[in-house]
Amino acid sequence: MENIHPIFDRILQTDQKESLVKQRSLVIWMVGLSGSGKSTLARALENALYERGFYTMLLDGDNLRTGVNNNLGFSEEDRKENIRRAAEVSKLFSTNGTVTICSLISPTKAIRNMAKGIIGDRYCEVFINCPIEVCETRDVKGLYAKARKGEIKDFTGINSPFEAPQEADIEVRTDLNTEEACLEQLLDKIVPRIKFDLK
């Protein structure tokens, strides 16, 4: 069958980009409840990888929803579309040899499977595990309190479901460990996957 997207036959391939930047691309998909520590660890991870000479891109709800996804709300369909677009953008960065860190709640298995299906074998799921009771104590924006009062509808963990990942590639417990210990756990698992080895 004739290729209807012939440009993909002519552009530089991922392994060529990886060879140039001397790293293996990976999409680190960090999931967890609001307040679990996703954004904090994502920023710490990006800084730590930068210090080790890795080229990264950090995507989270804030920078996506102010640009690519600024026309989306928080309905079930809009949340699904938010993740779909994030996954497609992550895939583009991945094919360019970039280590991409995504910090997104991604509340259901179906949504995470969709992201994984788009990204492919460079998808690395990281579950930032923290009980909702602890997340609520960290609620600096007061979102959980507003959700419990009914002021925010469809808030994940309160009146919208969160399906905890059962088969994440990496799981860290931010309620049981310090930020530094969680970061080291991430680095121990991630750095070997993105380290470029000359063949």
> In the 3-class helix/strand/coil scheme, how is 19-71 assigned residue by residue?
HHHCECCEEEEEECCCCCCHHHHHHHHHHHHHHCCCCEEEEEHHHHHCCCCCC
Are the beta carbons of 77 and 113 closer than 8 angstroms? Answer: no
Are the beta carbons of 135 and 90 closer than 8 angstroms? Answer: no
Residues 6+ apart with CB under 8 A from 123: 27, 29, 115, 116
Are the beta carbons of 60 and 89 closer than 8 angstroms? Answer: no
Give the chain's mean pLDDT: 89
Q: Which active-site residues does the annotation give?
A: 106
Note the pLDDT tens digit of each residue in 95-131. 999 999 999 999 999 999 999 999 999 999 999 999 9
Query: What are the two backbone dihedrals, phi and then psi, of residue 160, each rounded to the nearest 5 degrees?
Result: -145, 135
pTM: 0.89
Note the pLDDT tens digit of each residue in 47-82. 999 999 999 999 987 777 777 777 777 777 888 888
